[in-house]
Every structure is written in C-alpha cells, then in structure tokens.
Amino acid sequence: MPNTRSPTRGSMGFWPRKRAKRIYPRIKSWPKSSESKPLGFAGYKIGMTHAFIVDNNPNSKTKGQEISTPVTILECPPLSVFGFRCYLDSQCVGDVISDSLDKNLSRKIKVPKKSRKEEQLKKLDGKKINDVYLLCHTNPTFKKRPEVFEIALGGDKQLEIAKNLLGKHIKIADVFKDGDYIDVTAVTKGKGFQGPVKRFGIKILRPKAQQMQRHTGSLGTTEPGKVRSTVPQGGQMGFQTRTELNKRLLKIVDGKEVNPKGGFLRFGLASGDCILVEGSVPGSRRRLIRMRTALRYPKTKYPVNVKYISTTSKQGV
C-alpha cells in the first residue's frame, strides 16, 4: 500500500509555543480609520450553529442561491468606558478615570477612593497627543469579575470622542454593522503537553525504529552540537493567543432569536445583543473574544441576507 502523507501541522512562525500570560488577549496593532468611533469590541463565545444565507458573490457558482454556512454566536453585552489613556509616540502621557465606577470593577483592579477627574483633565492641557485609547471593562452575564482592556479610537478628534464616552456604555451596534469584516483574537483551547505526532503531524515510524514510533526520527546533524528550534518535539499545545483575519459579521441579533430549547451546551441561555460570525472562532465557550475593524479589509464587500438561523438543540452533538 502507498504511504499516507499529510502536511505538517503548526506553523513555525509562532514560536516559542508557550502558554498565554492571561486568559484573554491583547491587541497590539490597530487599523487607521477616518471614522470617529471605537475600532474594536469584545464578546463571549456561546457556541456554533448553522444559518442559510443568500450567496451574493457574483463570481460564485451558487450566486443568488440560498446556501448553508456554519456560524459562531458571540454574546456581546455593552462595554463600560471607565476612562481613557493618551499616548505620544507610544509613551503614555496621562490617564483620565471616570467619577462613577461599577462596583464589580474593584474585583479586577484597584479602584481610586477619591475622584481626580478634573485634575487629570487639567494635566492634559497643552500636551501633544497622538493617540487616545478607551479604558473599558466588560459586563458579563454569567460572572461578576469583569475583564479590562484598551480600545483604539478612529478619526481626528479622538480626545473629544473619549471625553463624550467617559462613564458611558458602548453597544456592538455603535462599532460594527451587518456585513462588516472583522479580525478576531482569542486564546485557543488548551490541550496540555502533547507529542510531536499530534503537535506537528510528523510521520509515525515503523515498529522496529528503535522501539519508538511516535517520535522524531532525527534531532539534526552532529555539527553544530545543538537541537534547532525547527525540529518538531513534544511540548505545550494550545492555550495560545491567535488572530484570524477577515471574518464576516453576518448579523446582529437578540439573544432570544438564537436560543435553542434548553439553552446552549455549557453556556445556558443567551441574552442581550449577540452577533453571528461566519465560520469558526478560536477559543472555548465562555471565553472572551476580542474584535477589531479588519486590518487588511477586502477590496469587495457583498451585502448579507440571512434567511434562516438554526435553533435546533446541539445538546446531543
């Protein structure tokens, strides 16, 4: 019989493969946008289902027809803006914290006892500022401890936008709309310590190969006397920060429209604003998924027409 072959799994571009420092990711690069609005949002992964949409791609063989596509459902409760941070050439110039802070925020960070909002605003007068980032925290429905992160702003009047949003809530509809392309960033599912066969997809050796089959045949040459990082070996697999580009946001819906009978597996019933993202999204259920406006936005954008969303229970899947 012919030898079965498969491509090597795992790109060497991600190295070293260590566990993520925290369970929700950081976004290090943001797109430049002329729109005066926040450039990102965050939501919690609920699970997957399928939907029927009209294929509006004129170059597709199924154009104009209804096709089934897998979708990921994310619960997106409003984000609270408790402050903003100003930067000059990647150096922090100053922070401004809101007067009214949520009581659950103290579960995550140290909350100041007295308000210094006016004093902090005066310190920013006359200073040069390149970028302004919103300081936001989540309002999860299934736990009390929120997540805290920064969100970049677009447009020329970033400082004015940040002052207007200070102490207010942002909804998913204020940032994205149906049919937008987004980049999703999350910490993938952790799979612990795995061998080179599962981790990199190397070939299983014959039974007489040094009494070991699921290992690397050769660790390299005699000179230089070291093992290169490109040699597939066992180690940590999963629980790493990964970003997927150009995921299409199909529709913003209410949680009641997508709830199956009995709720979602290992999540429960969705409530509030939810979004349907075409395809899969990294991370496990209830894990925070961060989104931003697409960094490499596609040249062509097709209208989205969702005809049907499956609410069949996935408990037995």
317 residues of the chain, pLDDT tens digit each: 567 677 777 777 788 889 999 999 999 999 999 999 999 999 999 999 999 999 999 999 999 999 999 999 999 999 999 999 999 988 999 999 999 999 999 999 999 988 899 999 999 988 999 999 999 999 999 999 999 999 999 999 999 999 999 999 999 999 999 999 999 999 999 999 999 999 998 888 888 877 788 998 889 988 888 998 889 999 999 999 999 999 999 999 999 999 998 899 999 999 999 999 999 999 999 999 999 999 999 988 899 999 999 999 766 55
Fold of 40-188+245-309: Elongation Factor Tu (Ef-tu); domain 3 (2.40.30)
Position 315 scores a pLDDT of 63
Q: State how far the Cα of 45 lies from the Cα of 53, in Å rounded to an integer.
A: 21
CB 120 within 8 A of CB 131: no
Position 3 scores a pLDDT of 72
Position 133 scores a pLDDT of 97
Neighbours of 123 (CB within 10 A): 14
Alpha helices in 166-305 (DSSP H): 196-200, 255-258
Q: Strand 91-97 vs strand 131-137: parallel, antiparallel, or unpaired?
A: unpaired
Find the length of the chain.
317
Position 1 scores a pLDDT of 58
Where do the domains of the chain lie?
40-188+245-309
Position 147 scores a pLDDT of 97
CB 293 within 8 A of CB 184: no
Position 196 scores a pLDDT of 92
- Bond from prior residue into 224 cis (ω within 30 degrees of 0): yes
Amino acid letter, residue 142: F
Question: To the nearest 10°, the Cα dihedral for 123, 125, 128, 132?
Answer: 70
CB 38 within 8 A of CB 174: yes
CB 189 within 8 A of CB 238: yes
Position 316 scores a pLDDT of 52
Could you say which DSSP state residue 268 is in? Answer: B
Neighbours of 256 (CB within 10 A): 12
Q: Helix, strand, coil proportions of the chain in percent (round to 5)?
A: 10, 35, 55
Q: Which of 154, 164, 229, 233 is nearest to 200 (CA)?
A: 233
Between the alpha carbon of residue 150 and those of residues 5, 25, 169, the distances in Å are 45, 11, 14
Position 5 scores a pLDDT of 72
Q: State how far the Cα of 45 lies from the Cα of 275, in Å rounded to an integer.
A: 10
Q: Is the dihedral of CA 19, 79, 292, 184 positive or negative?
A: positive
Position 212 scores a pLDDT of 85
Q: Which two tokens stand for residue 104?
A: 């659950």
What phi and psi values does residue 273 have, to the nearest 5 degrees? -75, 135
Position 7 scores a pLDDT of 75
Could you say which DSSP state residue 104 is in? Answer: G
DSSP letter for each residue of 82-100: EEEEEEETTEEEEEEE-SS
The distance between the two most distant Cα atoms of the chain, rounded to a whole number of Å, is 78
Could you say which DSSP state residue 125 is in? Answer: T
Amino acid letter, residue 19: R
